[in-house]
């Protein structure tokens, strides 16, 4: 039983890390003035997900980190988070 819990926690941590990385990449491209459509194309990611990340990033104060964006996305239940 403990092994399954650890596997689940490892999977959750990995998925969280992947989303944090995507948020960082999207923010960098936003800072360069790219549109959600351009970002999704360049990163080969789902446009809806990129648009939601952009919306969450725009709702944050300048200087707020990926954690705040991640929290906003979790509130919208993105990717089952």
3-state secondary structure labels for all residues of 18-32: HHHHHHHHHHHHHHC
Q: Which residue has the higher pLDDT, 25 or 5?
A: 25
pLDDT at 8: 77
Q: Say yes or no to pLDDT of 54 above 60.
A: yes
Task: Provide the token pair at 26.
Answer: 């999207």
The interaxial angle of helices 36-43 and 47-59, nearest 10 deg, is 130
pTM over 0.75: yes
- Compute the average pLDDT of residues 46-58: 94
- CA 78/CA 8 separation, integer angstroms: 18
Whole-number average pLDDT of the chain: 86
């Amino acid at each position: 039983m403990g092994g399954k819990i650890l596997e689940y926690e490892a999977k959750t941590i990995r998925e969280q890390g992947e989303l944090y990385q995507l948020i960082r990449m999207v923010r960098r491209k936003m800072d360069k003035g790219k549109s959600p459509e351009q970002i999704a194309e360049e990163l080969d990611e789902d446009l809806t997900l990129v648009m939601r990340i952009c919306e969450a990033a725009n709702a944050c104060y300048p200087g707020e980190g990926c954690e705040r964006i991640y929290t906003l996305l979790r509130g919208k239940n993105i990717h089952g988070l």
